[in-house]
């Protein structure tokens, strides 16, 4: 009764992906309580699939579930960002070492292709969503041969949490250029199988992006409204690690 999704609405998996993308991209203000009625209208879905998606996102850490009071967007806290960045450095460093030991010719070819797609996306302004997809694919492919599905799952979850901060941080063109250059350097070191240098650069890559992402923390920003529609690459979001 009232729980069925309207005709032409998103599937359950599409709804989860759309909500996840909007939460990471900053569509909703930090601390904002999500209005079920407004979400149903915006995503054109019924109550049951919406609650299922919200529960999944709460379990994933992108929402906070309040007992009998619905769901709220988590705050952007410096202590949490510190923890996320530290774990990213450790987990991704370990995964990179294992990937460089195990990756073969097919992986090398795929990594070069992923880097060239990322580089082309960076040359086109105004297409943030496409750049973000290419950026995610590059980092996924870099670590893919590590041999540990669980490690990769943890890394992806940390990456999503980190991106909430990165995309809401003030733009920094100088850092953006450095981070983009480091993608190419990571490819060169991966091809040379220079494990120590590659791990050091990846950790520096994450640290540099972390320094910018701090600008999104509530301790460093004045309170404001929601960032409807997400950030533009030149105006708010900082491409990075």
What does the H/E/C string look like for 188-234? HHHHCCCHHHHHHHHHHHHHHHHHHHHHHCHHHCCCCCCCCCCCCCC
Per-residue pLDDT of the chain (241 residues; tens, 9 = 90+): 344 445 456 788 899 999 999 999 999 999 999 999 999 999 999 999 999 999 999 999 999 998 777 999 999 999 999 999 999 999 999 999 999 999 999 999 999 999 999 999 988 877 888 999 999 999 999 999 999 999 999 999 999 999 999 999 998 888 989 999 999 999 999 999 999 999 999 999 999 999 999 999 977 665 443 333 333 333 345 556 7
Q: What is the pTM of this model?
A: 0.84
Tokens 């100088």 sit on residue: 174
10 secondary structure, DSSP code? -
User: Alpha helices, DSSP H only, in 26-148?
Assistant: 36-43, 47-60, 78-102, 105-122, 128-143
- Least Cα distance to 210 among 73, 89, 61, 29 occurs for 89
Q: Is 90 helix (H, G, I), strand (E, B) or coil?
A: helix
Q: Which SS3 state, helix, strand or coil, does residue 22 take?
A: helix
């Amino acid at each position: 009764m009232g729980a069925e999704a309207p005709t032409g609405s998103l599937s359950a998996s599409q709804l989860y992906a759309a909500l996840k993308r909007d939460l990471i991209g900053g569509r909703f203000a930090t601390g904002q309580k999500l209005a079920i009625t407004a979400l149903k209208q915006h995503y054109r879905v019924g109550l049951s699939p919406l609650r299922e998606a919200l529960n999944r996102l709460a379990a994933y850490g992108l929402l906070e579930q309040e007992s009998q009071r619905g769901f709220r967007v988590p705050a952007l806290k410096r202590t949490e960002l510190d923890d996320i960045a530290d774990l990213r450095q450790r987990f991704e460093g370990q995964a990179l070492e294992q990937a460089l030991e195990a990756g073969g010719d097919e992986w090398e070819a795929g990594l070069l292709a992923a880097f060239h797609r990322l580089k082309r996306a960076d040359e086109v302004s105004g297409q943030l969503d496409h750049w973000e997809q290419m950026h995610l694919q590059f980092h996924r492919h870099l670590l893919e041969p590590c041999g540990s599905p669980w490690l990769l799952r943890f890394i992806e979850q940390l990456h999503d949490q980190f991106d909430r901060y990165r995309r809401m941080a003030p733009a920094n063109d100088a850092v953006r250029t450095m981070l983009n250059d480091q993608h190419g350097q990571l490819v060169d070191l991966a091809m040379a199988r220079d494990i120590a240098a590659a791990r050091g650069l990846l950790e520096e890559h994450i640290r540099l992006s972390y320094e910018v992402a701090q600008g999104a923390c509530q301790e460093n920003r004045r309170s404001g409204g929601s960032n409807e529609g997400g950030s533009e690459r030149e105006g708010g979001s900082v491409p990075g690690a």
